[in-house]
Amino acid sequence: MSPRKRITMNDHAAEASLFKSRALFTFLSVIILLSLLLVNLYNLQITSFKDYETRSNDNRIRVVPVAPSRGLIYDRHGQLLAENQPFFSLEMVPEKVKNVSDTLDELSQVIDLSADEKANVLDALKYHRRFKPLTIKNKLTEEQVAEFSVNQHRFPGLSVEAGLKRHYPYNGLMTHALGYVGKINSRDQESLIRNDLWGNYAATKDIGKQGIEKFYESLLLGKPGHLEEEVNNRGRTIRTLKAVPPEPGQDIYLTLDLKLQQKALELLNGRRGSIVAIDPRDGGILALVSSPTYDPNLFVHGISSKAYSELLNSKSKPLINRATQGQYAPASTVKPHLALLGLENKTVTPKTRIWDPGFWQIPGVERKYRDWKRWGHGWVDVNSAIVSSCDTYFYDLAYKTGVDSIANFMEPFGFGERTGVDIFEESAGIMPSKDWKRLRYNQPWYIGDTISVGIGQGYWTTTPLQLANATAILANNGRRFVPHFLKSIQDQTAKIDTPPDELPPIELNDPNNWKIINEAMRDTAHKSRFTDARYTAAMKTGTAQVFSVAQDAEYDADNIDERLRDNALIIAYAPYENPKIVLAVVLENAGWGGVNAGPVARALLDEYLLRDSWDKTK
């Protein structure tokens, strides 16, 4: 039986309908895909054009930042104090070096590379990004540059870079005023990023660390420029497409007087101490010296750990700015201010006299507060008390006045507060009061504390700058300025003087009291170091105890540790009729103020006031 034949019925209508639905689906799919393609093309070519163009250019265009030249620093007469000198450094891009350790060993045969320098490089690699240049050696000599250039083909990834570095031609002369610049560290970087300033340092590796260099960093830095270079796929420069020059930092002129600064450091002669000179007419600082000093150039290229450790651990503490951070008992140098208070609140009058037998006692108390002159000064008034520096007179005055009145009166003179000088390294000192002691030590104030304050001892401490500033206010009869270094700013177009910052004056109930105190200081100078001077000066010396001497004990400088001996101080100004310069001198552990600090003050005033006449005789 033959198999049955299969008969298929064709439904043309159904087939046509199926074809139409499939064709429509295919057409719509094509339309959707074409739409997505067009949208994507629009996004690439129109919407994101700039972004992809930048990315493309970044693959062939390299932006190289160009460092600006740091502004120069001059003294008031245009003498250069901080300059920029060319230098060469050897740098390495770690990712281009196969074996850093072997490369350094081989390099040491070409240039002088010490074991410490190699160790420092290897340590720095632990925290350094491998695609960024790392300095191997600073301050290459011309011979080292030539030797490396001949052998450079042996050291891929290494290159000699040229630039400008800060240089201080007078070494340690201006250190505590100018400060110095140093390499940007992680703390500096964090601060710059936090303050949105990191972009200004794209091509700069240094930043002001202390002093003027730090305070006026924004003026001195300048603005970086850049080069746009076309590079090939290996990073080699083909051509420069665009150059935007950097804007150099502004030059600044200071109120400092180079010759006076040199004379001050010469007179200190390595002794521990400080000298501050101010122009009372505007508050400009003429000289600011802290001794011993150090060479700031050590920090510019990176100081070695050994050298820094020696400075840090030195018993003489050269890193401390004694002029603005050293805190000393002012001793008898503040007796004119205390006498002024006594006149103002009518505790004493110009004719008030007390008997000085060589000591003073609190009523009802056996303890005797001794005068420096063991047999006493006899009858003394306000003038003779200042001239002879009678302790007994000021013991009595402080007892009658009270410490809070003293503290309140001294505040406008700047004691116990920062002066606002234009460097960051400044201490406030201490102007004690009852509340201060309670807050500081949680102890009550005693009458004996007041007696010590009456001769500038006890808890009272001041910096030499504060002392000079307070003396300038006396010389000005109450007129006050903020002490400052900046005199003028020089940019590319003009030199602009900066006006002094004048504070409200101190006004006395009886303005004649200024004259009484200043006349006493003039008489003090006339009877001591300035008898034969060609100008009239005013002064007050001080001898500050570093430690307390028991009531019945005698101070013997020859038999105590040198660092426990008295500090020698002096304040002075001249000419008396029209003051042009105010001085504060502090010599640590030098002994008697008049004997040791007096000659220093005289020599400085002679240098400043008689310089022109001496120059004419040469």
Catalytic residues: 332
d(CA 393, CA 497): 46
Residues 6+ apart with CB under 8 A from 617: none
390 is in an annotated binding site: yes
Angle between helices 335-344 and 512-526 (to 10 degrees): 150
How far apart (Å, rounded) are the C-alpha atoms in residues 51 and 414? Answer: 59
Q: How many CB atoms lie within 10 A of CB 490?
A: 15
The Cα–Cα gap between 543 and 335 comes to 12
Q: How many residues does the chain have?
A: 618
Cα–Cα distance list, 450 to 60, 72, 385, 403, 517 (Å): 77, 49, 18, 6, 22
Q: Is 484 annotated as a binding residue?
A: no
Q: Which residues of 355-390 are buried (b: 16+ CB within 10 A; e: fewer)?
A: ebebbbebeeeeeebbbbeeebbeebbbbbbbbbbb
Angle at 279 between CA 275 and CA 284, to 5 degrees: 90
Distance CA 262, CA 459 (A): 34
Residue 362 near residue 388 (C-beta atoms within 8 A): no
The full DSSP string for 267-298 is HHTT-SEEEEEEETTTTEEEEEEEES---THH
DSSP 520-557: HHHHHHHTTTTTT-SS--EEEEEEE-SS---TT----G
10 Å CB burial of residue 479 (0-12, 13-18, 19+) is middle
Distance CA 45, CA 58 (A): 18
- The region, left, alpha or beta by phi > 0 then psi within -120 to 50, assigned to residue 523 is alpha
On whether 196 is known to bind a ligand per the annotation, the reply is: no
Phi, psi angles (nearest 5°) of residue 394: -85, -25
**Per-residue b/e over 525-561, b at no fewer than 16 CB within 10 Å?**
bbebbbeebeeebbbbbbbbbeeeeeeeeeeeeeeee
Q: 354-356 and 378-380: which strand pairing? A: antiparallel
User: Can you tell me the distance from the alpha carbon of 455 to that of 462, in angstroms, rounded to the nearest whole number?
Assistant: 13
Q: What is the DSSP string of 338-378?
A: HHHHHHHTTSS-TT--EEESSEE--TT----EE-SSTT--E
Residue 279 in marked binding region: no
Radius of gyration of the chain (CA): 37
Binding annotation for Zn(2+): 356, 371, 377, 390
Binding annotation: 356, 371, 377, 390
